[in-house]
Amino acid sequence: FACLAWSHSETRLLYVAEKSRPKPQPPCPWDVPGAAWPAAEDEDEEGKQFVYHEDWGEALSTRSVPVLCVLDLQSLNLSVLEGVPEHLSPGQALWSPDDRGVVFVGWWHKPFRLGLNACSNRRHPWDADPLLPTELLSAENGSVCSPRLSPDGQRLLYLEGAVGGPHRQCLRLCMVSWASWAPGTAVLPCAASTVPRSFAGLYAEVLPPQCWAADSRRAVLGTPQRSRTVSPGHGRARDLTHTAHGSSEGCWELLTLQWDLLVATCSAPHHPPSLVVAMLPPAGQELPLGWVPVEDTPTVPGVTWKTLTLQPPCSEQGPAAQDTQTFEALLLSPSDGTPPHPLIVCPHGECRDSGDTLAVLVAAQVMPMLAPGGPHAVFDARWRPSMAALCQLGFAVLLVNYRGSLGFGQASISSLLSRVGEQDVADTQLAVEQALHREPLDPHHLALLAGSHGAFIALHLLTREPERYQACALRSPVSNLPALLGTSDIPDWRYTSLGLPYSFDRVPCAEEVATMLLRSPIAQAAQVQTPVLLCVGARDRRVSPTQALELYRVLRARGVPARLLWYPEGGHALVGVETEADVFKNCAHWLLQHLGQ
């Protein structure tokens, strides 16, 4: 929801705040029978102290009813904009070119709120409100975000996706002419399927706050492209130019674009982020960009990396569409020590830090001036301190981007629907087998390290190949799908992932519950023999920590070595310096102990 926008006159500030509620009265301080506080001024609030108030789920548990506020710096008057439709929660607001209106995104919260974090499939059109009443500018049934006004005030860019379906997906980049307020037109459509070296579509959750070039004809944005950035000279379309980076770095992230000065960071699995700048050349001359380091960081010794491209085998019935899609894995290896190296396998879950390829969009070439986004994440080739540390401990690390990952086209994302627990598990198995075949790795010293949906995949691997892995460390694991229906902030995903329709009044039938249970690792937990470490946050709204607790009890009852770490203030991602350090320390110790390192 967040925004902080100056008016063009620089006299008013627009921002989002949480609507306040009357605070409950403290308990009576007098130990006298019948004594009480004086009657509350608002009698309507009496008896409402324990009324349940919805929030927006994981990482947004303190957000429920956002409101748009305006601070007038001349009069020092603070006001809340009234008139936002009751079914919408406003956010991501900015001023209109003449400061007489406000553009904002409105999230539907009727009949109840679904989790927003890492979900680009929620219904939220956006409005331009001449300080209310509102007028709809985007598609009514679309899922949009990140409106960005061009410097000349003539165009609005925004991201748009489909409502429902995968929680992250390939998005369209749309543009609206401010003069005509005509419906938004796709400047860059969704990429259905891709081939190597072609543009694979947009997957960013937000656009950079400052993304327009000074000429108001081009915009710079970032998005995952397969497992890393496009190398110099790869791909130029009528409407898109990849900014050639001139290096082997795997991840580039745009921080801001001011007066055609690009400020970005670049990193790789063996190289912590460096700060770089470049001037954006005139239109049509974007390549190459002359990046200048502002603050460079040295390469970390002892770590090498490469990208493995993998092709699934064709099914016996003939090559289906999903069978022809390649996927990738990143292999990090220690450059020191004597091979073969023990291997840690990491299928991804919800990645908090999906990386970017910088691209320059030449907007005016597509739209004439007179026509005025669980399993769906990606391990990109960025710097990850924990993975580099594992390499320095002597492990090779395999980061698997199975089919369904971001950055490989919408067809790849859609291919996983109804095949969760099957296709993703088979892809990870194939990645392990190919890595062992191609690289100097020790097949007798294998371990699994994963979180969220990646932990779901890891548990399936433990049940299918009980003797293959010697250790397993999991964060916020999904183990029992039907049990998440009433505990997760995204109950819709439990249906969508298995190809089942979802509606707000949905109640599963017995057959659907049975289907979910059969796809759940807990149903085959009796097959697990590998020592398992479980790390969970007590405040996880996405995957209830009781998932790990149930699994822990089953493993202990069967004599399987298991340990459960319970972080009282932790959420789904287990973030925070102290928490992250403790999780890594325990996971590394567990792997070292059980792999005999």
- The pLDDT tens digits of the residues spanning 303-314 come to 999 999 999 998
Question: Lowest mean pLDDT: which of 35-49, 317-331, 393-407, 535-549?
Answer: 35-49
Query: Percent of the chain, pLDDT > 90?
Result: 71
Residue 242's pLDDT band, with cuts at 50, 70 and 90, is: low
The whole-angstrom distance between residue 478's C-alpha and the CA centroid of its chain comes to: 17
CA angle 357–360–362, rounded 5-degree value? 150
Question: Lowest mean pLDDT: which of 124-128, 369-373, 525-529?
Answer: 369-373
Q: Which residues contact 205 (CB under 8 A, 6 or more apart)?
A: 118, 120, 145, 168, 373
How much is the mean pLDDT over the chain? 87
Residue 37's pLDDT band, with cuts at 50, 70 and 90, is: very low
Tokens of 33: 């029978």
Residue 169's pLDDT band, with cuts at 50, 70 and 90, is: very high
Dump pLDDT digits (tens) for 341-352. Answer: 999 999 998 655
Per-residue pLDDT averaged across 451-468, rounded?
97
pTM of the model: 0.90
pLDDT score of 405? 96
pLDDT score of 247? 54
Point out the catalytic residue in the list 127, 356, 427, 540: 540
CA 158/CA 90 separation, integer angstroms: 16
> DSSP character for 335?
S
Are the folds of 1-23+46-188 and 303-314+326-351+367-595 the same? no
Domain ranges of the chain: 1-23+46-188, 303-314+326-351+367-595
The long-range contacts involving 150-153, CB below 8 angstroms and separated by at least 24 positions, are 150/212, 150/216, 151/212, 151/214, 151/216, 152/216, 153/97, 153/98, 153/178
Point out the catalytic residue in the list 120, 267, 415, 452: 452
Point out the catalytic residue in the list 270, 348, 460, 572: 572
Between 33 and 305, name the one with better pLDDT. 305
Per-residue pLDDT averaged across 471-475, rounded?
98
Q: Which of 544, 538, 524, 549 is nearest to 574 (CA)?
A: 538
Q: Which residues contact 380 (CB under 8 A, 6 or more apart)?
A: 224, 227, 228, 250, 251, 354, 355, 356, 407
Per-residue pLDDT averaged across 422-439, rounded?
98
Per-residue pLDDT averaged across 239-250, rounded?
58
Dump pLDDT digits (tens) for 278-305. Answer: 999 998 887 788 899 998 899 999 999 9
503 is catalytic: no
* Contact assessment for residue 448 and residue 591, using Cβ atoms and an 8 Å cutoff: no
* Contact assessment for residue 436 and residue 340, using Cβ atoms and an 8 Å cutoff: no
Q: What would be the CATH architecture of the domain defined by 303-314+326-351+367-595?
A: 3-Layer(aba) Sandwich (3.40)
Tokens of 395: 């492990």
pLDDT score of 596? 82
pLDDT score of 311? 95
540 is catalytic: yes
Residue 566's pLDDT band, with cuts at 50, 70 and 90, is: very high
pLDDT greater than 50 at residue 508: yes
CA 336/CA 301 separation, integer angstroms: 9
167 is catalytic: no
CATH number of 1-23+46-188: 2.130.10.10
Residue 244's pLDDT band, with cuts at 50, 70 and 90, is: very low
